[in-house]
Amino acid sequence: MRAHASPAQSKSPKVRAVTLVSALAGTLMLAASGPGAPQYPAHAVALITPTTAGGAIDSSSRLLANRLTETMGQRFIVENRPGGSGVIGASAVARAKPDGYTLLFSSNSYMVSTPLLLKSMPYDSRTDFAPITEIGRIPLVLVAHPSMKVATLKAFIDRAKTAPARINYASGGEGSDHHLSMELLSAMAGIRLVHVPYKAGPQGYADLLGGHIPAMFIAPGTAARHVKEGKVMALGISSARSLEAYAGVPPVSEVLPGYEYEGWFATFAPRATPADVIARLNTEIRAILAQPEVVHRMHAIGIFPKTGTPEDLASMLVSDTERIRQLMRQTGIEAR
């Protein structure tokens, strides 16, 4: 009896080779889209901050980037892109490919205040970004150069009343927390100060240390060492939170009842970034910010960690926009 060859056996070596290659290609395509696909992140991730090095945003973003590098197995690299009241850095992320490899570490100043202050914006904070998670809340400290010869907030206010529109204060730009917190204080205290905006908060603070600017609100961690050394005077804290490095420094509300101001930091990705990437980042960041050592280091910067879901952050953007809009009306700040 003659043996009949099977279809596979009857194919020529060339046909069998093509069949094998096709099968292998199909297997690779399946693997690329299935459970065996390379997990995010597969290479380095850029974490853009819209400010200069040296401030609270920079310090906290680097702390987070280092921990993400450890937990996610790829480098998270902080890139400082200051300027334009945060527009330059935020725009770079809004325009980036939505693949999870370009992220934004920003604050309410750049995601809420700047869009309200500028009539023409290259992005919409609420629609051009995918929220990841809030990072934390940050009160500010009102500091003054010793040459002002004021040791208390009341003395500062009394001095300003005797010299209307003659005392300058620094900020990290229009709409920054340094700016809005001082304008709120001025409105509530009935004083007139002169706003001197800088490219970023650390630059203004450097001029304060040099005696070129008499006062400003600044992140607690930035000024703590200089307050201890007597190089600047701490006059008040913008919220009722207790700050270890500022024991004995009262909240502004003790002199101006009802005064309260805090900023926040948060992370974002470009709109249309895959949901699974956002979920992974949210999980990793929330776990990092729950670590006692990280909490301690954040407190040293002046940040009180607070995280949540992407939906929580999206809701906060909406509510905080209304809060800042009302503050601008109260202080007479107009969009330009």
| List of E strands, 150-258 | 168-171, 194-197, 215-218, 233-237
Q: Is the dihedral of CA 317, 323, 324, 326 positive or negative?
A: positive
Cα 139 to Cα 227: distance, rounded to the nearest angstrom: 16
Which one, of 251, 261, 220, lies nearest residue 153 by Cα? 251
Whole-number Å distance between alpha carbons of 146 and 208: 10
Q: Is the peptide bond before 41 cis (omega within 30 degrees of 0)?
A: yes
Q: pLDDT tens-digit profile of 267-307?
A: 999 999 999 999 999 999 999 999 999 999 999 999 999 99
What does pTM read for this prediction? 0.84
Partner residues linked to 131 by β-bridges: 268
Residue pLDDT, tens place only, 17-74? 333 333 333 333 333 334 555 799 999 999 999 988 888 999 999 999 999 999 999 9
